[in-house]
Amino acid sequence: MKIKTIKARPDQLKPKPDEKKLGFGQYFADHMFTMKYRGADGWYDPVIEPYHSLQLDPTAMCLHYGQEIFEGLKAYRGTNDEIFLFRPMENIRRMNVSAARLCMPPVDETVFLDALRQFVLLEKEWVPREKGASLYIRPTMIATEAALGVHPADEYLFFIVCGPVGAYYAHGFGPTKIYVSDDCVRAAPGGTGHVKAAGNYAASLYASRIAGEMGYTQVLWLDARENRYVEEVGTSNIFFAIGDQLVTPPLGGTILPGVTRDSVIKLAAHLGVNVDERRLAMTEVITAIEKGTLREAFATGTAAVISPVGRIYYRDREYLINEGNAGALAEKLYNEILQIQYGTREDPFGWRMQIG
């Protein structure tokens, strides 16, 4: 499939923001990729074109029934101006798992990767040079058919936008405070917790707001059935270092299979850490904190890579983890993964893909 490119006119180009003040998801590059789908024709008209607003019928089905999925990955600039992606095939495959769960059409893996490659290279100047900054890429698929009956749509739009994001830890590798939600749940068995479906995030906002009002950064979700087992934190996966083990909940249909989670599991094992994917009750976490065997905790995701947890609030009490500090293992894994992403160390896993 040949991707057409329509370059922005000079007057359509946006000013580049200050790379020291990027934040997350505030600036978008000059172009976007779009491709349409109709049941009878499949995918058609792949094009990279100037960034623009979408025009949708008010009854476009994504607006009513949430048939919408997305992905998140990054492009990194190496010291010799190389451009790297990190394990993009994982995002491509996960997007197609999300599509299947929401009765949406899959995107051919080769076309998807080609679109990413050509799009990011066209926007190469938007890949930041500032240390720790990167180009965040957001592939998205929405149901565009104009109809109000509840059924899988016959028409879709796949688009990719991207924009520069800042170093997550502009002021050092700081720990977050997390709030364990005892009443709201994120995902139930048989639901859509294992895919990046837009509706999951709408459903999570209420508990996040409560956590925020209590002074916490993120929500730690427990399982929907018993409200007992740790699942994930915000839009990240969670790890606890207990005794000599690094424990993370298993993928069982309610947890998003994070690319960073998988990378941390493989890298930690490679470094000789004993990693255990198993169910972990919140009571076990609290007991380990009280006995002093819980050494550290951290969350993993593309945006922050590794986010150490310093405090945890559960049932009217706040507990300190590692005296409220970032742990040594979190910091080690963070540095190793960043070095692989930016091309400053060898990559024994073949995770880095150089595209330019």
Ligand X SMILES: *Cc1c(COP(=O)(O)O)cnc(C)c1O
Sites of contact with ligand X (CB under 6 A): 72, 196, 232, 235-237, 256, 258-261, 300-302
Min dist CB 215 to ligand X, Å, is 22
Residue (of 201, 191, 189, 184) closest to 235 by Cα position? 201
User: Which of 56/167 has CB closer to ligand X?
Assistant: 167
180: its two tokens: 């364990």
Min dist CB 340 to ligand X, Å, is 14
Q: Is the dihedral of CA 331, 333, 339, 341 positive or negative?
A: negative
Could you list the beta-strand ranges (E) of 62-133.
68-70, 73-77, 83-86
Min dist CB 59 to ligand X, Å, is 28
Contact 322, 310 (CB under 8 A): yes
Query: What is the DSSP annotation of 230-296?
Result: EEEETTEEEEEEETTEEEE---SSSS---HHHHHHHHHHHHTT-EEEE---BHHHHHHHHHHT-EEE
Contact 218, 257 (CB under 8 A): no
User: Which of 259/267 has CB closer to ligand X?
Assistant: 259
Min dist CB 185 to ligand X, Å, is 13
Min dist CB 330 to ligand X, Å, is 15
Min dist CB 287 to ligand X, Å, is 26
Residue 253 sits at the vertex; the CA angle it makes with 264 and 195, to the nearest 5 degrees, is 75
β-strand 31-38 against 155-165: which pairing, if any? antiparallel
User: Which of 48/246 has CB closer to ligand X?
Assistant: 246
User: Which of 144/236 has CB closer to ligand X?
Assistant: 236
User: Which of 176/237 has CB closer to ligand X?
Assistant: 237
User: Which of 37/76 has CB closer to ligand X?
Assistant: 76
User: Which of 46/164 has CB closer to ligand X?
Assistant: 164
- How many CB atoms are closer than 10 A to CB 114? 16
Min dist CB 259 to ligand X, Å, is 4
Q: State how far the Cα of 252 lies from the Cα of 91, in Å rounded to an integer.
A: 19
